[in-house]
A and B are shown apart, each in its own frame.
Chain A
Amino acid sequence: MKLALRHAFVLAVCAFAIFPILFVVSAAINPLGTLASTELLPTGAGLANFGELMTSDVYPFGRWFFNSVFIALLSSFASLLLSMFAAYAFSRMRFAGRRVGLLALLLIQMFPQFLAIVTIFMIFTRVTELYPAFGFDTVWGLMLLYLGGALGVNTWLMKGFLDTVPKELDEAATVDGATHAQVFWKVIMPLVTPILAVTALLAFITTMSEFLMANVFLRDPESKTLAVGMYGMIAGDRRNENFGMFAAATLLTAIPTVSVFLWLQKYIVSGLTSGAVKG
């Protein structure tokens, strides 16, 4: 009975989550490629928009897809590591400036960063002159830029989780002669897989949908990410003409995220399963 209630509630929320997406599906299979049609199953529905998207020589969707996944995987992995390091220090060590540092991490994110683009140009114009391998038009430069956001709310998330891991565990390891590095890699990391997986997923999604920086950074059609490329599809008065393709692309964009989620899910709910075994 209780379980049925849970299912009913979750189903209702799922319906809420999926409802607008059905609208996108409708536009994607509509030959006119429009949101305006009020019937969900449009006349002449088909996969033409997907076909057009895959074969378009103006919009190299496959390349965008690959670029996005590549950048998102690599930069979310790197920022996860940086973030985890910081969270470990903040949670396990006591040092001067700890509270201030934590508060600063939170506050810096709150500053309206509308001048970010101007500063990015200031910094990377010089970088491009000196180190072209990390300048504009390179994914490496963009990844460095993304690492600027590594410390932030994700650090807080992991620190909060680490706070709940009993300190006795690493203390015991220290007694056995482990260095702080060994404690970190061998004791802490295995214990925090659920939150690592969640944070990795969040970082992955953030990078996948990042748009402003990638727009000024990657200027070759072939080097663009999905978010930037797709925005270009409907920019200006191209809104209507490409909307069907755009809707199709929007749906396909969810594939990497869902795949990463499927892959990480077993780590996220590892606590649950072990609990179930015990019970």
Chain B
Amino acid sequence: MPPDVRETVEASQAPRPRRNITTAFVVSRIAVLAVAAAILLYAAPPLVATGSWIGLAVLLGATAVIGYLYLTRRYVPAKYLVPGTVFLIAFQVFPVLYTVTTAFTNFGDGHRGDKAAAITAIERGSVRQAPGSPEYQLTTALRGGELVFLLVDPATKQVRLGDAGGLSPLPGAEVGVTGKVLRAPGVTVLTAPQAAARGEEIAALTVPTDGGAVKANGLSRAVEGRAALVYDAGCDCMRGEGGPWRADGSQGYFVNAAGEHLAQGWQVNVGLANFARVLTNPTISGYFLGVFGWNAVFALASVAGTFGLGMAVALALHHPRMRGTKAYRIALILPYAMPSFAMLLVWRDMFNRDFGLVNQMLGLNVDWLGEVTTARLAVVLVNLWLGFPYMFLVTTGALQAIPRELTEAAAIDGATPWKAFRRVTLPLLLVALTPLLISSFAYNFNNFNAIQLTTEGGPFPPENPQVGGTDLLITYTFRLAFGTGGAQFGFAAAISVFIFAIVAIVSAVAFRRTRKQEEVYA
């Protein structure tokens, strides 16, 4: 009784008789262990050095799991799936999850960091040079092991020593022509490289004065300044100019009594506000149906057009007596071999009314990208050009899997070539290609570049600059999220979730239909 592959896998839960241990088996197991050990040796030390114990635990756990997976004879499918899946999780699933969590925040320009970062930025940004204070020339020096500033007032050439306690006169210092202190009693002057190496210490040293504090400004100057805004933890507010500015945890801003806010905000949780905004925004809801309709047409026309044309040429070349196929194939994949961003720009120029090649050759004066109908026609045509070589390639590949005997048999049965194609070739092609068609639909449904690099969503009616004639859902909603008032990642993430839901539902429904095909064939 020959064991069926499927049954073997399902039966793997139960203990099975041992097979003979072959050399290949031993070698492959040793290789697995060696690679796992090498990875551990490489990956673990930096984690230990930086004290990333969680990371280390995950690393050890995962190494153990994967080591076991490849040493045991069980879980055969997992052996084949794990390598790709690990990368998939790190670089595809993780960004998706992150996007979804972002949808519940106000993450975006003005709200990128946390509150502490905003406070630092506000305080540092509000430091103004104390009026009338000298523009000190700075020399850094060591007193014992402690970093001190030697400050030269360029007007009086007087030298003072600054440390965490304040300023004190430093008699007996020798000042060079550039204004740098060359030597001074009791301290060791640092050379430029020595100072550069202590950059962080220099930035951290604050010398208090009556009017504020002296801080280094680079390595050779120091400025006496005072922060116009200072954080007060007691009232959770910024005190100073125009304030007090109270922290408003719901919007992630410091707000004053007049309702104004400081520019620097922080990221806060906004719950479902972004989703509510997508649903209630009059610009989105008011134009949704129109844009959605065109978007669906665009995606379907792109898939049908590229697949139709790609398959047609693949079939035309799929003939034993066809000559020159090599040259043809090269010409046909050329559109795919050029960088698409460059070619999209070329197409846009070709559709120019007065300077474009299309009007020139056809003797027309059509404002292709300036009228809704022609602009839509143009983007579909451009997308056809960009996309058909892909379909041509995959169809060419898939055609090789169809045994010629099948089509020949159909021909012997008296079927016309068209009937043979409909009954034999097309169904077989679709088994392999339906998922690609679904994926292509989803890709084109969200084909941001095809629109952005040609029409940018236009033409726009002057009375409504927000929704253009060729806008897809993704181009016009992203314009709302990014084109105006900076990047609003949280809002864009909520939009993405909605768009994904639409595409995923359509695709999942289409996908269910493929199950039948697969069962029939397999």
Contacts and interface: CB of A to CB of B under 8 A. Distances in A.
B398 A38 contact: no
Contact of B95 (A103, A115, A130, A278): A115
B282 interface: no
Nearest to A98: B77
Interface in B481-522: 489, 492-493, 495-496, 499-500, 503-504, 507-508, 511, 515, 518, 521-522
Contacts of B92: 108-109, 113, 148-149
Interface string B271-312: 000000000000000000000000000000000000001001
Given A36-B349, A86-B80, A205-B336, A157 B432 contact: yes
Interface stretch (B142-150, B200-208, B313-321): B313-321
A111 B432 contact: no
A262 B96 CA distance: 37
A10 B313 contact: yes
A41 interface: no
Interface residues of A, number: 111
A195 B401 contact: yes
A94 B5 CA distance: 8
Interface string B336-360: 1111111100110110000101001
Interface stretch (B169-177, B326-334, B363-371): B326-334
Nearest to A164: B401
A18 interface: yes
Interface in A48-88: 79, 82-83, 85-86, 88
Interface stretch (B82-90, B115-123, B209-217, B246-254): B82-90
Contacts of A194: 397, 400-401
Interface string A247-258: 000100110011
Nearest to B478: A114
A93 B522 contact: no
A278 B522 CA distance: 27
A215 B77 CA distance: 36
Contacts of B316: 6, 9-10
A216 interface: no
Interface string B413-445: 000000000000000100111111011001100
B332 A17 contact: yes
Contact of A9 (B84, B88, B313, B346): B313
Contacts of A246: 342
B337 A254 contact: yes
Nearest to A251: B338
B58 to A, nearest CB: 13
A221 interface: no
Contacts of A47: none
Q: Is the interface of B mostly helix, strand, loop or mixed?
A: helix
Interface string A2-16: 010011011001101
Contacts of A151: 84-85, 87-88
Contacts of A275: 320, 404
Interface string B429-468: 0011111101100110010100000000000000000000
A92 B81 CA distance: 12
B134 interface: no
A261 B94 contact: no
B419 to A, nearest CB: 16
Contact of B98 (A23, A115, A171, A270): A115
B504 A110 contact: yes
A86 B79 CA distance: 9
A23 B336 CA distance: 16
A7 B507 CA distance: 36
A227 B428 CA distance: 37
B404 A278 contact: yes
Contact of A108 (B96, B322, B385, B389): B96
B339 A253 contact: yes
B76 interface: yes
A271 B331 contact: no
B321 A3 contact: yes
B332 A230 contact: no
Interface string A203-239: 0010001010000000000000011001100000000
Contact of B76 (A93, A107, A116, A148): A93
Contact of B355 (A6, A20, A38, A262): A38
Contact of A14 (B328, B336, B435): B328
Given A122-B98, A161-B432, 14 more contacts: A3-B322, A16-B385, A20-B347, A106-B435, A110-B504, A111-B500, A115-B95, A130-B47, A164-B402, A180-B76, A202-B394, A231-B341, A258-B337, A268-B396
15 contacts: A17-B389, A95-B10, A108-B96, A110-B446, A115-B489, A149-B91, A157-B397, A160-B434, A174-B2, A174-B5, A198-B394, A227-B339, A257-B337, A268-B400, A279-B320
Interface of A: 3, 6-7, 9-10, 13-14, 16-18, 20-21, 23-24, 35-36, 38, 40, 79, 82-83, 85-86, 88-89, 92-95, 98-99, 101, 103, 105-116, 118-120, 122-123, 129-131, 144-145, 147-151, 153, 155-157, 160-161, 163-165, 167, 170-171, 174-175, 179-182, 184, 194-195, 197-199, 201-202, 205, 209, 211, 226-227, 230-231, 246, 250, 253-254, 257-258, 261-262, 265, 268-272, 275-276, 278-279
